[in-house]
Amino acid sequence: MGEIVLDVQNVTKQHKNHRGIFHINLTLHKGDVFGLMGPNGAGKSTLFKILVGLIKADQGKIRFFGHSLDTAFEQAMKKVGCLIEKSVAYEHLSALQNLQLAARFYADIHPKDIEEALKTVGLYEVRKEKVSDFSAGMKQRIALANALISNPVFVILDEPITNLDLDGMIEVRNIIHHLSTEKGITFLISSHSANEMEKICNRVGVLFKGELLKIGDIDELTERQSLEEFYLNCVQTNGVKDHE
Amino acid sequence: MNRWQASLTNELQILLYRRKIMLLFLLISLLPVVFTLISNAIGSIIDLHTITLSFVMPFLLPCYIFMIATELFVSEIETGTIKLALTRPIARWKIYTSKIIVASIVIFALLLTIWFMSFLMNLFGYNTWSAKGLIEELVIYVVTFFPMFVLFMLSVWIGQMVHSITGSMVISLLLYALFKVVPIFIPLLGNFLFTNYMDWYTLWVNNPLPWSQLFSIASMFLASGAIFGVVGLFLFEQKEIN
């Protein structure tokens, strides 16, 4: 196993409506492409937002590359790129300007890196157009480019294929595959599509009602059943238990 | 470029590309021209600085300031674009301070632009100017910045507690109106409200200068600004972005 990229220990966050995430433990190693599955409201976005510092956990520890998110935020986030839930960008600025804003936070990003990121997500031709004129899929691509602009070692993608058409989904899958295999980038991805997860990830976890039920290697999990079947079994078993 | 500088540059670019912010900047800057044209039309000579300041200071500038505060904080949170900065390797206090510095630059630039436009109108419209008068007028516009900055900090504070753009604007305006009206009915309370001294620039043209009064007003601005700023920072640090 490679270097530990992400170490989540006993993280809990309870919202006012009593939902949230409870006692989450998760460790990702360099090169992992980890898929987090779960129904709506399971706590995926809550976990992702805690990981990038948008909301604070009630308890628990999070470390990126050994740096604590609480005490060394800048160090911890230095090599992390993320796309959280809704794809956001400054609508009154162009795609290029949006990426220039992001790039300023990193010392070693040059104009050609920005061009490269735009080419990677297929927006180079429209780089000078305002984001407000973009389709939902194009906005999702600019959000992805924003996540990748820092040349990250670890990328967190919350629903990266939302709003994308089939071509877009395949492109995103190819980008993730290329970056993980060629550059050894670690990914933490959430998606509703078990099929996509099966194609992209090497490890998956199932989050249900705020608890991380199972984690496993995708090859082992899909030996006797598809990932979709595994996921449904997992959720239904726990849903029945919960009901009883 | 370090990250704090990067944040400053970004905030400035984001704000300057906002059409409504720049349009209002331009319109307020052109007020001295409008007043000169009106005075020429009715054939009377006016004190351009006095009329401009008495028109801009109590209403137009506060509205503009509330708009900037709302744009920099509440609007970014409502649209989610704040996530683009918060998920970068930069501490929240740096983002907060860079927004405040950028707003200060824009407010100060606006005051200087009004001063310069008034100077140009005096020069070409009335053909009256003197070096001494020019400096005195510059001082007036520079000291006007301080109460405006405190007002901005008040609006920033409100913005940390309100979740909608309209709500933030309305509450800022209502609170400002309340601060202006209360001293009329309870004069004693006015002594403790910074809004009671928004026109302190009038003291700066006295000869000799009333130093002790200026010092106590400056202390009030400093204390009010610090309180709003620190509480605002605390709330911004704790804010959960969904």
Q: What is the mean pLDDT of residues A40-66?
A: 93
CB atoms within 10 A of CB B164: 14
Regarding an ipTM greater than 0.95, the answer is: no
User: Averaged over B41-49, what is the pLDDT?
Assistant: 77
Distance from CA of A123 to the nearest CA of B (A): 19
| Residue entry with tokens 């924003």 | A146
**Locate tokens 């004190």: which residue?**
B47
Task: Provide the domain limits for residue B145.
Answer: 3-238
Note the pLDDT tens digit of each residue in B179-225: 999 999 998 888 889 999 988 888 888 778 889 999 999 999 999 99
Domain A1-79+200-244 sits in CATH 3.40.50.1820? no
Task: Determine, for residues B87 and A102 on separate chains, whether the beta-carbon distance falls below 8 Å.
Answer: no
Task: Give the neighbor-by-neighbor strand order of the sheet with A20-29.
Answer: A20-29, A4-14, A59-64, A67-68
In the stretch 15-74 of chain A, residues with CB closer than 8 A to chain B read 49, 52-56, 73-74
Written as six digits, the tokens of A175 are 């980008």
CA distances from B26 to A217, B13, B21, B106 (A): 61, 17, 9, 12
Nearest to B90 among A84, A97, A105 (CB): A105
Cβ of residue B46 closer than 8 Å to a chain A Cβ: no
Chain A nearest C-alpha distance from B90 (Å): 5
- SS3 label, residue A22: strand
- Residue B1 has what pLDDT? 63
Q: Rounded distance, CA B49 to CA A81, Å? A: 51
Q: What is the mean pLDDT of residues A52-67?
A: 94
The phi and psi torsions of B209 (rounded to 5 degrees) equal -70, 135
Q: B198 in contact with A at a CB cutoff of 8 Å? A: no
Cα–Cα distance for residue pair A78/A144, rounded to 1 Å: 17
Summarize pLDDT for B117-164 with one digit per residue, the tens.
Answer: 988 888 877 667 777 778 888 999 999 999 999 999 999 999 999 989
Tokens representing A18? 């009593």
Number of domains in chain B: 1
What digits encode the pLDDT tens for the residues B228-242? 999 999 999 999 998
What is the tens place of the pLDDT at every residue in A112-125? 999 999 998 889 99
Q: How many angstroms separate the CA of residue B21 from the nearest CA in chain A? A: 12
Q: Which of B87, B234, B237 to mutate to test the interface with A (most CBs of A within 10 A)?
A: B87
A&B contacts, CB < 8 Å: 76
Which residues does B164 contact at the CB level (< 8 Å), separation at least 6? Answer: B74, B78
